Each structure stands twice: as C-alpha cells, then as structure tokens.
Amino acid sequence: MSHRFHSTILREYDIRGIIGETLGAEDARAIGRGFGSMLAEAGGKKVAVGYDGRVSSPMLEHALIEGLTASGIDVARVGMGATPMLYYAEASAEDIDGGIQITGSHNPANYNGFKMVFQGRPFFGADIQELGRRAAAGEWIDGAGQVEERDVFDAYIDRMLEALDGIDTAVLDRLKVGWDAGNGAAGPALERLAARLPGEHHLLYTDVDGDFPNHHPDPTVEENLEDLRALVVEKSLDFGVAFDGDGDRIGAIDGEGRVIWGDQLLMVYAEDLLARRKGVTIIADVKASRALFDHVAAHGGKPLMWKTGHSLIKSKMKETGSPLAGEMSGHVFFADEYYGYDDALYAGVRLIAAAARIGKSVTELRSAMPPMVNTPEMRFQVDESRKFAAIEEIAARIAASDAVADTTDGVRVTTDDGWWLLRASNTQDVLVARAESESQEGLDRLVAQIDEQLAASGLERGESVGH
C-alpha cells in the first residue's frame, strides 16, 4: 500500500492544506505511517498528539493516530489545545520521543495541517520530503501501538507561572492586562492562566471557534488587533497581548494603543535577559529592525541575524546555544528558563516579568525605542520557477556593486538611508520585501531600489498578497 500527497501540502516547515481539496483523512493516516516508521527506526516508541480548535481537527487526529499505531508507535493524546501545550508535553516527559500538533495556525478556517517534533528537534525540510518519498513507496513499518490519554493542562500552566518567580508581587498586583485569544486553540489555557496571574486581566474571545467569528487570528496584521486596542483604551490597561490561531505567535499593544511588533518585543526580552546573562547570542530573522540588533549589542549581547522560519531559528538556537530568539512574525523562543520552543502564552507571561524586572512599564519601553519608518512585510506573486533564480540574480548584481549586503536569507542591503530586503518565501510562490529608514524620504529611496532590482530581473512589485 502507498499514498501520494497533493503537490502543495508538503512545505518547508510543516504540512498544510485545504480540507476536502488538498488534505484529508488518508493524508493524515499516511503522515502517521511515515512519521511513525521514521521514529521507530530511530529508536523512538511514543508520540504525543494534540490538535487545535478547527472543525476538521478531530477527524485528522483520528486518522493520524491510526497511522502512528499501525507503525507500532504508542500515542499519548493530549487533546485540544495550543501548539505550545503539545510542545510542552513532548519536551517535559521522558517517555515521549516525538510530537505532532494538528493545526492550521493562522490560516483561514478551511485549512489545516501538522507541526512536528522528532526526538526533541524540529521535523522539517528534508524530513518532510522523506515522509513524502516513503508514502509514495509504501515504505512503512508495521506494528500495533497503544493509545493513552494524557492530561498536561495544569502542569503546563504551572510551568509558565514559574517565569514570575522572585518578582515583587506588589509590582505584579498593580498590573492591568488585556488578552485576545481570537477564538483560537489557546483560549482555554489563557482562561486558566489569567485566573492565576497576579493583577487585573481582561479577556477577549477565549471560546474556541474554528470559524473565527470575531476576527482572523493573525496578530501580525494590525486590523486584527483593533478589538484588543479598543479594550486597552477603554479599560486604561497597561498593555494587551494577542495570539494566533494555535498560540505560538504573539502580538502586543502598549498602553497608548501602539502596536509592539515582533522585533520590538524581542528588544524588551533581550534587555531583561542581558541584565542577567551578558555576552549571550540572541537571534532574530532577516526581517527584523536594525534597532533590535543595535539594542542587543548595546546591552552586551551578541546579535545574530538568521533565516526566517521557526524550524530554522530553533535549529540555529541549538547550534549556537542561544537562550533567546525571535521573528518579525511573532514567534519568540525562550531557552534560558524554558524549552526553546515558541509559546505565545509563555511570551505573554515573560513580557510581564521583563517589564517588572527592568522597572519600566511596557509603554515606557515602547516609547524608548528609536522611531524607525518602515514598510509592512510586502509579499507579491512570482512564478515558482523564478523566485529563487530572481534572488540569485539580484544578489549577483549587488555583489558586483559596492553595496553592503547580507545574503543569509535572500538579499538584505544596508545603505546610508537604512536597509531593504528581498527574499523568496519557502512556503509560497511569493517574494517578500521589506525596508526600513529613519525618514520617509529615506524609505522612499529604499523602496525605489527594490523596484529597480525587480525590474532588472523582469519583475514588478505589483499588489501585495496575503499569507
């Protein structure tokens, strides 16, 4: 028996498709068979399985577990919850050798997918391609695994609260914070967490609803933060925190209603961490502001620019021993007192802790950041066969000039005006552009350089497309 996946669903960082069109139960079963076989060959025996609040998730979970057990792998079902709760189940238990979360992340309601951990490391790239190859060849191990229920809910909440140990409770008791779960899978854990946090907490949309009736759960899009902003203003809160659909990406609003973007949050976390651990490496992706890298260096850290993608960042953290990393997209990874995975609920608690330890409000910390002028992340369609080739052409032209460029992931060019970036998406047939300056005039010149390079490769920026 063999199985062929739809050509679009085996992606760089995860597996993701449209229910009933490109992804269904047979795919989930084949994923279980392939992952289970690969884990068994590596000496693994048990996998934790969780799922998000999408309507299709229970169906996919059932089929996935059938595939895992048919390959001789035992399954610990942790139930419906945020992706980081599944990561916690995998990281904290000695008898668990891998983890799979069924989630469509921040995608529309008709999408779903799988995020995977294999013996403590991200399962991505070549691993996912190998899963596809095995399915096509029917190269699976046969066995009969057992299934158990495992409740990690309370232990997960307890573990997150440790982030506040040793902090003056009088300071924490004065805090007033807003939270927006966006009807995503983090809602129940947020309710339990907020009930135990010191201070005053106001919650939005914690009921899990896979149709996302209030707003789309993607905190990197400013319009999705409007309800949280209104709550912060109406209740005079210190700040607000929002999550994506599966709770592994954070967004934030300060007390004045300003967005605190992913790289700006990392500035706060870095300042707090570096006061205790001088000289450590802190990683951010190539889309992050220069202000972040300067801030890390100014506080005695070693800034490292790396490739975009949560799996790539996690792998680089392990390689360098970095205790903290983050992306513009709101993935933040804590490995100093935590497990190194991206957990937006924990990042919310760490924001409370960081401000308390630094001794400034989140609004004061946001106000102290240099006022950069930047574009949003611009994404535009390009033929799949051209996207990497175009970036190579642009890199070659830049190298032949006297421009200063970093080619860690695409091309990031630094000029007197600031910097601009062009990179190929690993998951879609799009190019991603971003630019940042200290003035609008400088930004206009940088964007003109992007357009000039695209035109030289026969492309144009055109209309920006979504995620």
Q: Which residues are catalytic?
A: 105
- Is the sign of the CA dihedral 152, 212, 349, 334 positive or negative? positive
Residues in the chain: 467
Q: How far is CA 356 from CA 199, 362, 371, 430, in A?
A: 12, 9, 24, 41
| Of the candidates 281, 298, 295, 454, the residue with the CA atom closest to the CA atom of residue 378 | 454
Q: How many CB atoms lie within 10 A of CB 268?
A: 23
* Token output for 232: 């912060």
What DSSP line would sit under 202-219, residue for residue? EEE--S--TT-SSS-S-T
Q: Whole-angstrom Cα distance, residue 346 to residue 193?
A: 10
Q: Per DSSP, what are the bridge partners of residue 111? A: 18
> 3-class secondary structure for 172-186?
HHCCEEEEECCCCCC
8 A C-beta contact, residue 145 and residue 44: no
- Is the sign of the CA dihedral 119, 123, 129, 133 positive or negative? positive
